[in-house]
A and B are shown apart, each in its own frame.
Chain A
């Protein structure tokens, strides 16, 4: 389980931007900055070796022609070249060691809900919009592509998931070629999940909200709200100085930075002013209370999912052992490697509610026992 934790830490550095290499054949290659950096790299600028993703070509095209080109785009991607040419891949079975892929959702906001005991709590709404698997790299290849030897050996492969289909006119050729294998339109956002080989997914598979079930626990990772360069009072909650009584220019400053004697230096990791927010954060062990299949919305515990409204959130199965126990003991495995509509014969209901969650269309909660 320690491996899980370190893996999640590593994910911070390996953002999806790394995937966009100029060479389309290197889709699965993970580029890592080898430069030795003291502390964390706090910059908003993409590294110089990223190939440009977005292009803005001002085409001198009449509106009618532009409409026609749009039509061609839709036609082209309507029936994508079947990724099933080599047949559907074999589906693995779930084991306690299995790590499935996640989805890339969008945060919609926070809404209160009530349990059947009448307790009020906040839930965060996450919408899974138009997700597709873009690429799968088996563990052997993936461990080699890193440029360094991963400590987990060849345990995990990688799945690239994309969200929000766009017209190809927004992007450069090298970016659009990433999607040739999956046969889907180019996506606005890509992300990568590490998966065990038994949870391998074929490129081109759509992912939707049914990937999870009500009552499952998930982890959410996203970028927090950016505040820019901030002082210690706002960034670390320090007290600052007094407002008056002879205080000069020290109202919002930090106090002492370090001691004397043997410790006569500013220690590493001292909390100081700097860039605040806009930083990857993972919130673990959030319960799924409710699923709306019509709008593809997950209701997840709490208001601590990082980021503002409409930010991207990576949602995947939790790595907390005590939250996975239920799956292991009760033999209640999640759909592997993801949910396929063929699995269910009856039509999917519009809503799934947790057993403990209050349904608004049911009667009010009453403690009066009728005798």
Chain B
């Protein structure tokens, strides 16, 4: 059977052709710029507010100690790269260094026992001093914080301090130590004796240049219930939990959805969620140089003051 030959309607042809026109439909007509483009405009010779690029020093010319990055984790920026900005991080770092020039923030780690004095309107002496073990430190840049824990009158107390809070008067490290785990929140489920420290504890001296001692103590947790499922996070500083958990829980722990073995070797996951080593080197290099400069200035100041005092003393003697 032959199809009837028909005259094609002009309107129809027009309409159908219109729908074939190549259209560029962006999925998102975005109002946002990519990072590279912003950087390009910041250094563009056409720009009126151009940022002059200084010759970047080789990271090799200043020898930054390898430990420096572990001492100052607060200088590392937020790792998700599409939310980062160079200028913001730079300004943030400037503020941090300014604050560090005023307040002496010592080296400490999770597990160290610290004393922090902070200005408090409602405290009796308008100032409050708290001693405790550092169970966590986190946050990037000015948002960096640490948590101290102590048991006072048989009651566990935890205080979170912003590291760059201007109310902080003094930070002392009473006992420099490291623990086996990056976070010690399991102390909440441990007997109180593990987190009890005397408020008038005297600082334990540590010789300069010596390695930070590692406290390999194994904490014995209380029986369940716990605040978290500790059996699932592979804790090193805790005695084996096999006595406390049931067979079902052990089985659940082995479940691939919980183990997530595929994430262990996921190279891109790591690359996306952490900062590249080269960049860390750059940042630490910059910070190290600034800190050295600040220290020199401080020393000079002290020297001058010392001289003045000496002169005064001499005058008095005379």
Contact = CB atoms under 8 A, between A and B. Distances in A.
Interface of A: 44-46, 73-74, 77, 106, 108-109, 111-114, 118, 120, 125, 127-130, 132, 164-167, 185, 188, 206, 208, 222-223, 226, 278, 292, 295-297, 307-312, 358, 360-369
A366 B91 contact: no
Given A112-B143, A308-B32, A44 B25 contact: yes
Interface of B: 23, 25-35, 37-38, 41-42, 44-49, 51, 82-85, 87-88, 90-92, 95-96, 98-99, 101-103, 119-121, 125-127, 141-143, 162, 164-169
Given A118-B119, A125-B88, A360-B95, A296 B49 contact: yes
Contacts of B125: 368
10 A-B pairs with least C-beta separation: A367-B126, A360-B98, A223-B31, A165-B46, A108-B88, A118-B167, A130-B47, A44-B29, A311-B32, A361-B98
A361 B164 CA distance: 12
26 contacts: A44-B25, A74-B45, A77-B46, A109-B83, A109-B84, A111-B91, A111-B142, A112-B142, A113-B142, A114-B165, A118-B165, A118-B166, A120-B165, A129-B41, A130-B44, A132-B48, A164-B41, A165-B48, A185-B46, A292-B91, A295-B87, A307-B32, A308-B83, A309-B84, A360-B166, A366-B169
A13 to B, nearest CB: 15
Contacts of B33: 106, 164, 188, 310-312
A365 B166 contact: yes
B312 to A, nearest CB: 21
B127 A367 contact: yes
Nearest to A112: B142
B49 A208 contact: yes
Contacts of B162: 112, 120
Contacts of B164: 360
Contact of A295 (B51, B95, B143): B51
A144 to B, nearest CB: 29
Contacts of A111: 88, 91-92, 95, 141-142
Given A311-B31, A360-B166, A368-B125, 6 more contacts: A74-B46, A111-B95, A118-B167, A206-B49, A278-B30, A365-B167
A188 to B, nearest CB: 8
Nearest to B142: A112
A127 B168 CA distance: 31
Contact of B46 (A112, A113, A166, A309): A166
